Structure 1
Amino acid sequence: MDLVLLAIVVGIGVGIVVGALGAGGGILAVPVLVFLLGMPVHSATASSLVIVLITALASLPHHARRKNVDWRNGLVFAGVSVVGAVVGSRLSALVPSQLLLTLFGVMLVAVAVAMLRRALRTRAEERAEAEQALAEDSAAHDPAAHDPAGQEDAEPVATHDDPVLDQPGPDMVDGADGIRHHHGEPEVPLSPAAPAAPRLPLVIGAATLTGFLTGFFGVGGGFIVVPMLVIALGLAMRRASGTSLLVMVVATAASLLARVGTEVQVDWVTTLIFAAGSAVGGMLGGPLSAKARPSTLTLAFSALLGGVAAVTLVQTLLG
């Protein structure tokens, strides 16, 4: 009974992270299944795929209702990831358990550091934007600012719904006022130098790597998908988070199918109980993403990953 309650509580916590960030479910689920629920490493990676799949399916409708899912680009990215997912799943079953968990811990450290750097950079951009807004507000109350002669050459001021979104992308539309709009709001002025198409090699490479990590470690890959959707496709941070859930669904399903015929066994009772809690947490976490700043979400995710990485490596190497 205690194990069931633990699986439910921890599952809800993992689901909240996935729902809020569109990432992190498998990365958190694998260590929890191994160290708290006593599951063998290979079984934990397979169970994690089931958990991530169910949680992503539960979290996706919220983001879809808020128009935060780019279905076309998400399906293309997910389709490319299938190849890597199949290769990773087959290779994972051949790697010894301790080595697999050690590599998992190393990956956690790398992702935590990358997320920390990204959070600090985003926080600096948010502060710069706030200072600019304050300066513009002060100028608006300056009588000299209302001088028509001084406004003849003024250019439209870009506004951003997220400091990461300095890049135009397929989720933006061109308005009749000459301003590129993001979901109906002014984003950045149109520019001939703006990229007209996604960076295809980067998208293919990122999608393939995402699929491989999903199959090999049993993770959803959202920690790679989200930044790649922002960088390569120019999606908004929250739109990228929603789209990453779509990618997770396809990549995890392909990884599970690729494990059919291997010796890896899934503890379905524990897995489904954990997944049920995670699904509930996913529905609770979705609304949180609309209330917190992107830098705060990323910083919290980085700290969480750092702690999980430390526990994983200490338990694996010294246990």
Structure 2
Amino acid sequence: MSALPLALAAGAVIGLALGALGGGGSVLAVPALIYLLGFTPVAATTASLVIVIVTSVTAMSAHARDGHVRWGTGLLFAAVGIGPAMLGSALADRIPEGVLTAAFAVVAGAAAVGMVRSRPVAEGAVPVRPARAAGAGAGLGAVTGVLGVGGGFLAVPALVGVLGMRMRDAVGTSLLVITVNSLAALTMRAGTVEGLDWAIVGPFVGAAILGAWDGKRLAAKVSGRTLQRIFALVLMAVAAFMLIEAVL
């Protein structure tokens, strides 16, 4: 199969994940760009940031119109996580690739288990405490900085489990966190953007945007508990794949 159909298919799946689940884009985009489209790891990471930023903004606007973006909490998460993420990125350079991959798998698996075991949050959502949100955001920034991912697949469990946010609010708010974190990361990689294969990245982004709209509609039709289970299955699959890669 040629690169263009693969880019369109992968973009649609990643957009669907971001629109419906509020995360998983960077986790899915990087492997797709490397293993399906032949990108180098550096180019794949940069392209993934571009794809995730555009798609997340598109999906977030739809969720915001329905009132499912908690702006204050999301901005606090993103703001307090920037410093720890930068420190984590510096530490990651000194950690062997296999160890990082295994750590990624463990964290993703733990987040999946947490989503399965968490109890549904009532419609009268738990009030957000700024100190608690700041602590969770800083921890999220540190972990995502070390693992080199946007953080959506960790943000949703944190927003639900730590702050007691409803699943649909967590999905919308995580898109805000992803956007800010990815913009900060892309700024640090600005010099690598020009070398991207835009004949592949462009269609990938377009398919992801369309997928995000479909994902948002899916989120409106499916219960929060079902979305939690779907998200957990995605995380478990990613964790298993990454763990196998680390071991073999």
How many Å apart are 1:24 and its aligned residue? 1.4
Q: Of residues 187, 198, 201 in structure 1, which corresponds to 2:129?
A: 198
Q: Distance in 1 between matches of 2:54 and 2:106?
A: 26
For the pair 1:220 / 2:177, whether they are aligned, the reply is: no
Higher helix share: 2
Q: 2:210 aligned to 257, 268, 280, which one?
A: 280
- Which residue, out of 219, 229, 234, partners 1:289? 219
Runs of 4+ off more than 6 Å? 263-266
Unpaired stretches in structure 1, ≥5 consecutive residues: 123-162, 171-196
Deviation of 1:33 (Å): 2.4
| Distance change >3 Å, CA 313–CA 295, structure 1 → 2 | same
Q: Which runs of 5+ in 2 are unaligned?
A: none
State the partner residue of 2:239: 309
Q: Equivalents in 2 of 1:266, 1:100: separation in Å?
A: 26
Deviations 1:79-127 (A, max 9, x none): 1122123233444455454443333333332233323323xxx4xxxxx
1:193-231 CA-partner distances (Å, limit 9, x unpaired): xxxx6161x322221232234444343322332233334
Q: Identical aligned pairs, as a percentage?
A: 40
Cα separation, 2, equivalents of 1:297 and 1:21: 7
Residues 210, 267 of structure 1: alpha-carbon distance in 2 compared, 3 angstrom cutoff: farther
Match runs of 1:174-189 below 5 Å: none
For residue 183 of structure 2, what is the aligned residue in structure 1? 253
What CA deviation, in whole Å up to 9, does each residue of 1:176-208 have, x standing for no partner?
Answer: xxxxxxxxxxxxxxxxxxxxx6161x3222212
Q: Matches of 1:225 and 1:309 in 2, distance apart?
A: 16
CA deviations over 1:220-243 (Å, ceiling 9, x no partner): 322332233334544322122111
Rate the CA distance shift 1:274–1:35 in 2: closer, same or farther, 3 A: same
Structural mapping, 1:53-132, within 5 Å: 53-93=53-93, 95-118=95-118, 122=119
Write the letter of the residue equivalent to 2:81.
S
Deviates more, 1:232-241 or 1:6-15: 232-241
- Equivalent of residue 121 in structure 2, options 154, 159, 164: 164
Contact in 2 for aligned 1:54/1:279 (Cα 8 Å): yes
Distance 1:279 1:90 in 2: 32
Q: Take 2:41 and 2:101, find their aligned partners in 1: how far apart are those partners?
A: 7
Separation (CA, whole Å) in 1 of partners of 2:178 and 2:219: 18
Native 8 Å contact 2:167 2:228 kept in 1: no
Larger Rg: 1
Aligned length: 247
Cα distance in 2, alignment partners of residues 43 and 101 from structure 1: 18
Q: Does residue 229 in structure 1 map to residue 159 in structure 2?
A: yes
> In the aligned structure 1, how far is the partner of 2:201 from the partner of 2:101?
19
TM-score by length of 2: 0.84
Task: Report the counterpart of residue 210 of structure 1 in structure 2.
Answer: 140
Q: With structure 1 as the length reference, what TM-score do the two structures score?
A: 0.67
Alpha-carbon offset, residue 55 of structure 1? 1.3
CA RMSD of aligned residues (A): 2.8
